[in-house]
Amino acid sequence: MLRLIKNLNNIWNKFKDNHKLFWDELEEQMVASDISINTTGKILAEVKKHVYSENINDIEKIKALLKKQIIEILRTNGGGDLKMSPTPPTVFLIVGVNGTGKTTSVAKLANMFKGKSKKVLISAADTYRSAAVEQIQHYAEELDLDIVYHQKFSDPGAVVYDSLEKAKARGIDLVIIDTAGRMQTSYNLMEELKKIKKVIAKKIDREVDEILLVIDSTTGQNARNQAELFNNSLNLTGIILTKIDSTSRGGIVLTIKNDLGIPIKLVTDGEKLDNIHFFDPAGFTESIFS
């Protein structure tokens, strides 16, 4: 698990000598963890309010307050589970900017549900990137899963449509759709995703069960823009935070949850296919202060 705030213990001692210095350094540490300035300000204002109204002088109590604030942000409307539809196939749509780890996350998700004895079909709707289909095909073979793909540069909407047809015919439980990476600022490509979403909704006669945005945990403040713009176009149901085995501290998690209310559902942390876990707010927060 990542440590959101490193070296925090070093600055606790400063509280006794110089309050301003202490708060400044705490703020710095939080910002250094990629938490946005707004979120940092909000958390610290809340903590300070308690500290000064209740005359708290005990470092352990301040730590507890800080933890409580963070857990609260992560927990409200937490919704950690992935929604499985009573009428199969359940459909997960995986989206994100280039290079965040969408395809790998699709494979890991597929592996996770295969382990739960679900019949999974992978829909290779990234028809744009060179060899994207071959990459996901490789995983499908390794996991012995159904996969639907078309030619390069074909219409991703058609791949999705075809996937859902086949899923129904073959009695598939879960369809996971891999899409091409795209910048959140690219109007045309975002419209393409909206269209894919419509194709699915029409085919399964309900909203897409999960629309998950894949975010690289080394991303800075731009992750918030990503979440906001993808959410505006698609109404995201959650976030997959990847590469948390890096040393990045993942503060974006807090900012996205605080500012946009989008829950973090899964984290991935390695090259192996079973390196995927449900996000645990309490454990995450604990690990910050471990």
Partner 1 sequence: MFDLLTNKFENLFYKIRNKGKLSPNDLDDALREIKLALLEADVNFKVVKEFLENVKTKAIGEKILESLTSYQQVVKIVNEEITRMLGSTSSGVVFAPRGPTIIMTVGLQGTGKTSAVVKLANFLKNKYQKKVSIIAADIYRPAAVLQLEDMAKNIAVDVYSESNSNPVSISVKGTELFRKSGSDVIIIDTAGRLHIDEKMMKEIVDIRSKVNPHQIFLVLDAMTGQEAVNIASTFNQRVECDGIILTKLDSDTRGGAALSVYYVVKKPIKFISNGERIEDFDIFYPDRIASRILGMGDILTLVEKAEKVVSEKEAKKIEEKIYKNELNFEDFIGQLKSIKKMGSLDKIFSMLPIPNKNKIFKKINLDDSYLSRIEAIINSMTVEERRKPHIINGNRKKRIARGSGSSVSEVNKLLVQFSKTKQMMKQFSGQKGKFNFPTGNL
Contact footprint for partner 1 (CB under 8 A): 28, 31-34, 36-37, 97-101, 128-132, 134-135, 137-139, 183-186, 216, 218-223, 225, 243, 245-249, 251-252, 271
Least gap, CB of 143 to partner 1 (angstroms)? 12
Residues 6+ apart with CB under 8 A from 97: 181, 182, 183, 184, 226
Least gap, CB of 65 to partner 1 (angstroms)? 23
Closest CB to partner 1 among residues 19, 138: 138
Closest CB to partner 1 among residues 82, 253: 253
Least gap, CB of 168 to partner 1 (angstroms)? 29
CA distance 5 to 91: 36
Burial of 12 (0-12, 13-18, 19+ CB in 10 A): middle
Least gap, CB of 163 to partner 1 (angstroms)? 20
Q: How far is CA 22 from CA 13, 25, 61, 166, in A?
A: 8, 5, 15, 60
Least gap, CB of 278 to partner 1 (angstroms)? 22
> Please, what sign has the CA dihedral across residues 133, 207, 72, 49?
positive
CA distance 180 to 95: 7
Closest CB to partner 1 among residues 126, 173: 126
Here the tokens at position 80 are 């950690």
Closest CB to partner 1 among residues 91, 252: 252
Closest CB to partner 1 among residues 209, 216: 216
